[in-house]
Chains A and B, each alone.
Chain A
Amino acid sequence: MADTSSDERTITGDVKVTIEHPFTEFLRMYFKNIAAVLAFICFTVIVLVAILGPLLTDLDPFRIVWMPIAPPGQDGFLLGTDSLGRSIAVQILYGARASLAVGAAAAAITLVIGLLVGSLAGYYRGWVDEALMRVTEFFQVLPPLLLSMVLVGLFSPTLQTVVFAIGVVSWTGVARLARAEFMKIRELEYVKAARSIGSKDARIIWRVILPNALPPLIVTAALTVGAAILFEAALSFLGLSDPNIVSWGKIIGDNRDYFLEAPWTVIFPGLAIFVTVLCINLIGDGLNDAFNPKLRER
C-alpha cells in the first residue's frame, strides 16, 4: 500500500493511516490493467501517426503510383495497391486523420447533446424530464445509421455533415446515463447542502453534480469515440462521405468490388479501424476499473 506519493497522516494516537490522493489511486488502478496500458501506448502511437502521417511519406494518397491491385510487399509497396493503383499504406496513413478527427468531433457532439439533455432531465424531473425523455425515445425509434445516411444523402456529403449526422443520432445512450446519474446524485446530502446555502441551479448542475457524475461519463465518452469511429467507417464504406477525403472506411468501400482478387485492399484498412477501436475500448475498460475499484473482480 505504501506509495511514495501518498501522504501519511496520524489520525488518532499512533494508528497510521495512509490516504492516497484520488488521482494517484486512479493511476495505480489503471496501471494494474496491463491491457489498458498497452492500449493507451498503442493509441498514442496511432494518434501521432494521424498527426504526423503526411510527413512520413512524400506520396499523395490519391496519386496512382503503380499497377492496380498489386499484392503487398512487392515493388516496395508495403501493403500493395488498390483497384486504381494507389498505395494502400499511404492511404491508411492519410485516412487516420479523417477517421480519428471525425470520430472525435462526432463523439464531442454526441456527448454535449447527451449531457445537456440527460442532466436537465435528471436534475429538474417533472415535465422537463417527461418532455426530454419523449424526445430521446423518439430518436431511439429511428435506426441511427439509416437516419444518418438519410441526413448525409439529403444534404451534402461534406465532413461537417457527416460529423453532425453521427452526433445527432447517437446521443440517446449518453442522455439516459447522464439522467440516471443526475437523478441519483441530486438526492445526496451535499447537493441538499449546496441548495440550502442558496446555490443557483446552474451552479448545482455544473459545479456540484457534474464533477461527481463524471467517472461513468468519462468511461462512456471513451466508448463513444470508438463507436463514432465505427460509425464514420460504415458511412464512408457506403460511399456517404466527402469524396475528396481519404478515410479508412472509404478505402474499403472503394475496393469492395475487387475484394476477392485483392483481399489486402480491405483487410488492412479494416485492421486499422479494428485496432484503433479495440485500443479505445480497452482504455475504456481500464478507466472503468480505475474509477470503480469495487467492480474489479468482475
Chain B
Amino acid sequence: MQLLSILVQRIGYAVALLIAVIIFNFILLSLVPGDIAETLAGEAGGASPEVMEQIRKSYGLDQPFYVQLFNYVTRVLQGDLGTSYYFNVPVTELILERVGPTLLLVTTALLIAIVVGTLLGVIAAQNPNGWFSHLVTILALVGFSAPVFWTAFMLIVLFVSILGILPLTGMVNPTTESGTLKWYLEVAHHLVLPSLSLASVYVAQYSRLARASMMDILGSDYIRTARAKGLSQRKVIYKHGLRNAVIPVITIAGLQFSYIFSGAVVIETVFNWPGLGTLALDAILRSDTPTIMGILFFSALVVIVFNLLTDMACRIADPRIRSSRNA
C-alpha cells in the first residue's frame, strides 16, 4: 500500500522532470542563433522577407514566447517531435527505429559490467592483500583511465586484426532475414565487441565498489553467524555475502544509467552500430535540429523510466529502504 503511494508520487515527479526537459529543450532552441525560417530559406537558396514572414507565421514563430512554449510542450507530450530536416521523416519514427539496438547494447554492457565487476570484487575481497586483489585494483585503474573509444580500438586490434574471430562493424548482415535463428546469432556475434568495450569502464568501477562493500560485509555479524553455524566458506561468500555485495552495485548502476547511455553514443560510432548514438552524431553534424532535440528528449525519457524501475526494484528487494521516501 505504502509502496503504491510512493510509486504514484515517483511517477508524478518523473512527469514533472520530463516537462522540465522539454522546456529546457525549447529554451536551448531559442538561444541558438538563427531560426527555422532562415534555415529553410538558406536551403532554398534565399527567400524574400515576405516569404520569411510567411514561414515564421506557418511555424507559429510570430506568437508570443509563452504561447510557443505551451504549444511546443503539448506537441512533444503527444509524441510529436517534428520532422527531420535531413531524413525528411517524423523524428519519432526515426528514433523508434533506432532505440532497439541502443537498448540492446546498453543493457548487455550493463549486465556484463554488473556480473563480472561484482564477481571480481567479491573474489578480491576474500584476500585483500593477495595477488588477485592487486590485479583487480590495477585493472580497475586501467579501465577507469582509458578513453572508452580507445579501449574499443585496442579490442579491435586483438579480436579483429590479430585473432580474426569477430566482425568489425555493423549489427547484422543486411541480407539476412530478420527473426531467423541466423539473424539472432549474427546480432549476438556483432554485439560482443561493442558491449565489451562499453562494459570495460564499468567493470572497473563495479569491481572496486564490490570489493569495498564485500570487505565490509565479511566483517559483519550475520556473516559471523553464518560461519558459526558451520556453513562452508563457499556458501557464506556466495549465498550470504554476494547477495548483499551486489546491492550497492545495482544502486550505482541505476544512478549511472545516463553515463552508460553517453558511453554508448561513442561506442556506437566506433562500431557503426545502428542506434541512437550514430543517429545523434549524424544529426548534429548535419544541423538537423528537430532530430537532435528529439534524441535529447527521448534519452532523458529512457533515463527517467530506468531510474524509476531501479528505484522500485531496490525497494522491493531491500525491505530496509522500502518505506523511506528519500532513498
Contact of A142 among B21, B147, B263 (CB under 8 A): B21
Residue A85 interfacial (CB < 8 Å): no
CA distance A285 to B215 in the complex (A): 19
Stretch in B107-115, B175-183, B292-300 touching the partner: B292-300
Cβ of A147: which chain B residues have Cβ within 8 Å of it?
A: 296
Chain B 141-170: CB-based contact to A (< 8 A → 1; otherwise 0)? 110111111100110110011000000100
Residue A238 interfacial (CB < 8 Å): yes
Minimum CB distance partner of A149 in chain B: B284
Minimum CB distance partner of B306 in chain A: A141
Q: CB distance A143 to B262 under 8 Å? A: yes
Q: How many A residues touch B, CB cutoff 8 Å?
A: 44
CA distance A259 to B269 in the complex (A): 14
Distance from A218 Cβ to chain B, minimum over Cβ atoms (Å): 19
Minimum CB distance partner of B20 in chain A: A138
Q: CB distance A274 to B147 under 8 Å? A: yes
Q: How many B residues touch A, CB cutoff 8 Å?
A: 52
Chain B 22-56: CB-based contact to A (< 8 A → 1; otherwise 0)? 00100011011000000000000000000000000
Residue B281 interfacial (CB < 8 Å): yes
Cβ of B17: which chain A residues have Cβ within 8 Å of it?
A: 137-138, 141
Chain A 140-174: CB-based contact to B (< 8 A → 1; otherwise 0)? 11111111011111110000000000000000000
Given contacts A230-B147, A260-B161, contact A266 B153 (CB under 8 A): yes
Minimum CB distance partner of B255 in chain A: A140
Distance from A111 Cβ to chain B, minimum over Cβ atoms (Å): 19
Q: CB distance A298 to B156 under 8 Å? A: no
Q: CB distance B266 to A237 under 8 Å? A: yes
Which residues of A (247-283) have their CB < 8 Å from a CB of B? Answer: 249, 252, 256, 259-260, 263, 266-267, 270, 273-274, 277-278, 280-282
9 contacts across the A-B interface (CB closer than 8 A): A138-B24, A142-B21, A143-B300, A145-B266, A146-B295, A259-B153, A260-B156, A270-B150, A281-B141
Most chain B beta-carbon neighbours within 10 Å: one of A140, A141, A237, A238: A141
Residue A234 interfacial (CB < 8 Å): yes
7 pairs of A and B residues whose beta carbons are closest in the complex: A145-B262, A270-B150, A153-B284, A278-B145, A277-B145, A143-B261, A143-B262
Chain B 114-157: CB-based contact to A (< 8 A → 1; otherwise 0)? 00000000000000100000000000011011111110011011
Known: A145-B262, A234-B147, A252-B149. 10 other contacts (CB 8 A): A138-B20, A138-B24, A143-B258, A154-B28, A154-B292, A249-B147, A263-B157, A267-B153, A270-B147, A274-B146
CA distance A77 to B248 in the complex (A): 49
Q: CB distance B147 to A233 under 8 Å? A: yes
Q: CB distance A150 to B149 under 8 Å? A: no
Residue A53 interfacial (CB < 8 Å): no
